[in-house]
Amino acid sequence: MSDCHDLSENNTFDLAVIGAGSAGFSAAITAAEAGARVALIGDGTIGGTCVNVGCVPSKTLIRTAESLHHAAAAKRFDGIETSARVTDWQAVVRQKQALVDELRQARYTDLLPRYDSVTYMEGKASFTDTGLLEVDGEIINAAKVIIATGSQPDVPAITGMEQVPYLTSTTALELEHLPASLLVIGAGYIGVEIAQMFSRAGVEVKLVSRRGLLPKMEPEIGKTLTRYLREEGVHIVTVDAYTGMDVIDGGVRLQAQLNQKELILIAEKVLVATGRKPNTDSLNLSAAGIEMLIDNGVKVDDHMQTSRPGVYAAGDVTGADQFVYMAAYGAKLAARNAMNCNSLSYDNAAMPAVVFTDPQVASVGLTEAGAKAAGYEIRTSTLTLSNVPRALAARDTRGLIKLVADRESGRLLGAHILAPEGADSIQTAAVAIKMGMTYQQLSEMIFPYLTTVEGLKLAAQTFDRDVKNLSCCAG
């Protein structure tokens, strides 16, 4: 690969981007707008994970299932009684797919003709042992390369698994008929979202994991959400190990171990939601001198550059921050660095994360454990939603807000929300952390009354006072 300033006329392209998903398009558009000649290389359905099999279809079906739950939950208001039920799940899935097709066309396929300097290529890309890029055996001359090949569901090594017709997060969202029962293995973001969605659609759901719900989140959130899901009818089981899986008459059987005793779980269908792994197997990266991580992710530095100068990587393929907006952000950064001598650094300190359960889980910054591990002396405040007027008016006080701050300076280090509208509140905390605000400054800001986000102000006030002693809007 050439050095940063060598974008000579002898190269067919200034930049080649491997992968035509969110990260790939972000990199290609960024470079094209900077005047670069770009080769965008796709393999399979254009648009990548988010629009096709991830964010868009899953959140569409989650919203559908929420309508079923909220209809029944209307009884919390005196004098109101209503209900809803699934009459045609096939129609639900077809409507979901229509939206997916529409967005893929509008946000990906139709964008390509608008960028004359982007050449789209269809084929399998890989590196030669000397570091050259090829697509289906044809060498692509490019001054710089960005790897943005995304990820795929990661399937654990459970004895007998290869004989079981298991579902992944991709195939589960394509089911046109609801199973009577579903066993979900894995209680991370994907597992809890899909488990609750199917449960609300009328499926008997067993959610099994080895570390409990959302193990990377604050323990208070995981514990509280566990209680809410159980109240809705989701059967949650924590085990020590998975020991085997096989097909039985009418379903699937999972053998697990708990406290040195055998545990048997049976369901009509099984969904494996134990995480995702980077798509790197076919790229020949190691032979080309590009270092890999233990999880087969591409190792990058703060500039998104790999161990091979001139080759960058962004998005899920790096194995970190597997959110579509971080993929787009990292790819844009990689493209700018490829064009401008690595002048920018990746910054995820104020990265918001959302789990679309109900109530929603939203987080930004450090957890309490993470802050302590980073060497901070900290203070925390925890506010239940029973202290938030919006929740009281909605007759729905499920949830809590936890803030983490540096003890000496009061600087806000983390914010963690479990609330029905938590996803739309977390960005305020993200801005506060990004700007280095203290919890005192957050507590003194003006917030609109009867909003969920006002809970952040109340949680900030909770560091130094009991908000039950305040009148409405006081502060």
Distances (CA, A) of 355 to 223, 245, 260, 303, 363: 15, 28, 32, 28, 9
Look at residue 282 and tell me if it is in a domain: yes
Does residue 147 share a domain with residue 20? Answer: yes
pLDDT, tens digit (0-9, with 9 covering 90-100), for 367-391: 999 999 999 999 999 999 999 999 9
Does residue 216 share a domain with residue 176? Answer: yes
pLDDT at 4: 54
Res. 211: pLDDT tops 50: yes
Res. 9: pLDDT tops 90: no
Question: Containing domain of residue 375, as a range?
Answer: 353-466
Look at residue 75 and tell me if it is in a domain: no
3-state secondary structure (DSSP) of residue 451: coil
Residue 322: strand pairing partners: none
- Full-prediction pTM beyond 0.75? yes
pLDDT at 183: 98
3-state secondary structure (DSSP) of residue 74: helix
Cα separation, 292 vs 108, whole angstroms = 29
Does residue 254 share a domain with residue 132? Answer: no
Does residue 320 share a domain with residue 302? Answer: yes
Query: Are the C-beta atoms of residues 242 and 185 closer than 8 Å to each other?
Result: yes
Eight-state DSSP code of residue 111: G
List the one residue out of 147, 137, 149, 140 whose CA is nearest residue 39: 140
Cα separation, 193 vs 173, whole angstroms = 12
Does residue 284 share a domain with residue 244? Answer: no
Look at residue 394 and tell me if it is in a domain: yes
pLDDT at 2: 42
pLDDT at 32: 97
- 134-142 contacts at long range (C-beta below 8 A, 24 or more positions apart): 135/41, 140/12, 140/13, 140/16, 140/39, 140/41, 141/10, 141/11, 141/12, 141/13, 142/11, 142/12, 142/13, 142/14, 142/15, 142/16, 142/39
Does residue 292 share a domain with residue 216? Answer: no
pLDDT, tens digit (0-9, with 9 covering 90-100), for 260-309: 999 999 999 999 999 999 999 999 999 999 999 998 999 999 999 999 99
pLDDT, tens digit (0-9, with 9 covering 90-100), for 390-405: 999 999 999 999 999 9
Does residue 331 share a domain with residue 442? Answer: no
pLDDT at 335: 98
- 430-438 contacts at long range (C-beta below 8 A, 24 or more positions apart): 430/350, 430/351, 430/352, 430/364, 430/365, 431/350, 432/456, 433/349, 433/350, 433/364, 433/365, 434/349, 434/350, 436/411, 437/411, 437/412, 438/405, 438/409, 438/410, 438/411, 438/412
Cα separation, 190 vs 414, whole angstroms = 23
pLDDT at 474: 58
pLDDT at 475: 55
Average pLDDT on 174-188 reads: 97
Does residue 370 share a domain with residue 288? Answer: no
Average pLDDT on 178-184 reads: 98
Does residue 370 share a domain with residue 333? Answer: no
Query: Are the C-beta atoms of residues 27 and 162 closer than 8 Å to each other?
Result: no
pLDDT at 158: 96
Average pLDDT on 345-354 reads: 97
Average pLDDT on 96-125 reads: 96
Does residue 255 share a domain with residue 165? Answer: yes
Backbone CA torsion sign across 102, 108, 114, 119 = negative
pLDDT at 8: 43
Look at residue 214 and tell me if it is in a domain: yes
Does residue 321 share a domain with residue 268? Answer: no
List the one residue out of 402, 411, 416, 462 whose CA is nearest residue 441: 411
pLDDT at 467: 87
Average pLDDT on 411-422 reads: 97
Q: What residue type is assigned to position 390 of the chain? A: R
Cα separation, 238 vs 135, whole angstroms = 45
Q: What is the CATH number of the domain that holds 427?
A: 3.30.390.30
The count of domains in the chain is 3
Look at residue 121 and tell me if it is in a domain: yes
Res. 471: pLDDT tops 80: no
Does residue 240 share a domain with residue 182? Answer: yes
| Averaged confidence pLDDT in the chain | 95
Q: What is the CATH number of the domain that holds 173?
A: 3.50.50.60
Distances (CA, A) of 202 to 70, 171, 458: 14, 18, 37
Q: What percent of the chain has pLDDT over 70?
A: 97
Domain boundary residue, one of 292, 308, 339: 339
Distances (CA, A) of 11 to 15, 139, 143, 396: 9, 12, 6, 61
Res. 1: pLDDT tops 50: no
Cα separation, 49 vs 56, whole angstroms = 9
List the one residue out of 446, 459, 332 whose CA is nearest residue 383: 459
Res. 193: pLDDT tops 90: yes
Higher pLDDT residue, 451 or 6?
451
Cα separation, 376 vs 408, whole angstroms = 9
Cα separation, 32 vs 82, whole angstroms = 53
Q: What percent of the chain has pLDDT over 90?
A: 94
Res. 141: pLDDT tops 80: yes
3-state secondary structure (DSSP) of residue 99: helix
Q: What is the DSSP code string of 309-328?
A: TTEEE-GGGGTS---HHHHH
Count the helix, strand and coil residues of the chain and give each as a percent rounded to the nearest 5: 35, 25, 40
Q: With both helix axes pointing from N to C terminus, report the angle between 454-461 and 426-434 in degrees, rounded to the nearest 10.
A: 60
Cα separation, 145 vs 345, whole angstroms = 18
Please report which confidence band the pLDDT of residue 34 belongs to, taking 50, 70 and 90 as the band edges.
very high
Q: What residue type is assigned to position 101 of the chain? A: D
pLDDT at 472: 72
Cα separation, 295 vs 109, whole angstroms = 32
Please report which confidence band the pLDDT of residue 468 belongs to, taking 50, 70 and 90 as the band edges.
confident
pLDDT at 16: 98
3-state secondary structure (DSSP) of residue 19: coil
Domain boundary residue, one of 239, 274, 309: 274
Domain boundary residue, one of 240, 274, 308: 274
The sheet carrying 125-127 orders its strands as: 125-127, 133-135, 138-140
